[in-house]
Chain A
């Protein structure tokens, strides 16, 4: 989902409001309600088993953009949990409105039912060059927009597999399990000279990746290549 949440590379923000080693991360919960954001979310996920953490992420992504911009972090998880509890029939909008004494604004409905993992994927090895599939997904996806269509190098393949987010993020528990890959990109391959020199590593599901096309510069320089150019 090409939403506001997909912030990597978005320009126009000011300085990060922090100075290193400031201890203002304590206390962990600053206001008396903030602990409810995660704990009520986990009631839905672990106790009621009505939705996955992936669906919570997607519900946050579905918060109307103007509201999203104006909300604080923990607020968004309260809205997402309330939205999913209504969508799964556990609560009603009317019950929330009555408890609040005014309208409890929930996230927008999804624009997609999700998708299965793409078929025919390949397994990659450390050092392989891969390209992120150039595809547009209206539902949940865990590939940031800035890597779409970009080429990088595999640094790691996980030894575990997890449900494909584009499927489980829409409540479909039949999601295929896949490993993910730590794929390294040059920052300037992502944003040209309008980026600092350096690298970005994204942790990408197998289904988001294709093998990169071999370019002449990548051709082996071993004996075979030497013979043919001799």
Chain B
């Protein structure tokens, strides 16, 4: 049996991360406030509520919808949603016969400013290995059952394009305002594994 690396090390991931931090800090490689500022941006400003605002606007404003589908970067920039890992944005339009889903099979690439940092399961080996090959099965296991006549199209984020799914506006939402519509658009809806649902 092969010895695993863990058999040779007693350190934890956190101890290794802080060790790297200390060495860099002692050499004055880290500007004051840099880590704190970036961490704040990644954990608070990059939020799926941003993508929800974009989708809700597209649902109520045909001109914005057209712009979003033609030039997603410009459309998201109107809200100020640009930045690292969100510099070339493409919106994927669901239709009655098409369900779009996003993955990064090679690592974890995600449209950070619009969707937020990717969740653990999105970065996990299971999703990265399986979604491209058995998209319909994975969606069903996650809790999204699609009719047989809906085609699943999986978008593998393998270069610089960063995606968001523009789902269909659900029936029964005619009287809703933009704020109410935003609440239907979750992180998983933007990734494409979930459909927007009322209630």
A interface residues, Cβ below 8 angstroms from B: 5-21, 24-25, 27-40, 42-43, 47-48, 57, 60, 64, 66-67, 70-75, 78-79, 81-82, 85, 90-91, 95-96, 99-105, 142-144, 146, 156, 158, 160, 162, 165, 180, 182, 184, 187, 190-191, 194-205
Contact = CB atoms under 8 A, between A and B. Distances in A.
B159 A29 contact: no
Given A16-B138, A36-B17, 6 more contacts: A95-B23, A100-B19, A144-B106, A158-B161, A180-B160, A198-B153
B29 A158 contact: no
Interface in B1-57: 2, 4-6, 8-11, 13-24, 27, 29-31, 34-35, 38-39, 42-43
A163 to B, nearest CB: 10
A36 B29 contact: no
B186 A201 contact: no
Nearest to B88: A160
B143 A74 contact: no
Contacts of A105: 5, 8-9
A66 B5 contact: yes
Given A36-B18, A73-B108, A200-B154, A146 B132 contact: yes
Contacts of B2: 66
Nearest to A156: B90
Contacts of B141: 15-16
B80 interface: no
Contacts of B156: 8, 144, 200-203
A5 B106 contact: yes
Interface string B144-158: 100000011111111
Which 5 A-B residue pairs are closest in the complex by CB-CB distance?
Answer: A8-B105, A25-B119, A18-B121, A33-B17, A100-B19
B126 A17 contact: yes
Given A9-B129, A198-B152, A199-B154, A16 B159 contact: no
Contact of A143 (B21, B31, B142, B158): B158
Nearest to A75: B13
Nearest to B48: A25
Nearest to A41: B38
A39 B6 CA distance: 25
Nearest to B71: A159
Contacts of A82: 16, 20
B118 to A, nearest CB: 8
Contacts of B29: 43, 47-48, 90
B159 A205 contact: yes
A35 B137 contact: no
B61 interface: no
B154 A18 contact: no
B82 to A, nearest CB: 13
Interface of B: 2, 4-6, 8-11, 13-24, 27, 29-31, 34-35, 38-39, 42-43, 84, 88, 90, 105-108, 116-117, 119-121, 123-130, 132-138, 141-144, 151-161, 186-188, 193-194
10 contacts: A8-B128, A8-B133, A25-B120, A25-B187, A36-B20, A40-B20, A43-B24, A78-B20, A99-B19, A187-B154
B18 A199 contact: no
Contacts of B188: 20-21
A32 to B, nearest CB: 7
A9 B132 contact: yes
A74 B17 CA distance: 9
A8 B130 CA distance: 7
Contacts of B90: 156, 182
A33 B13 contact: yes
Contacts of A5: 106-107
A160 B160 CA distance: 9
A180 to B, nearest CB: 4
A100 B84 CA distance: 31
Given A18-B121, A103-B9, A201-B153, A28 B106 contact: no
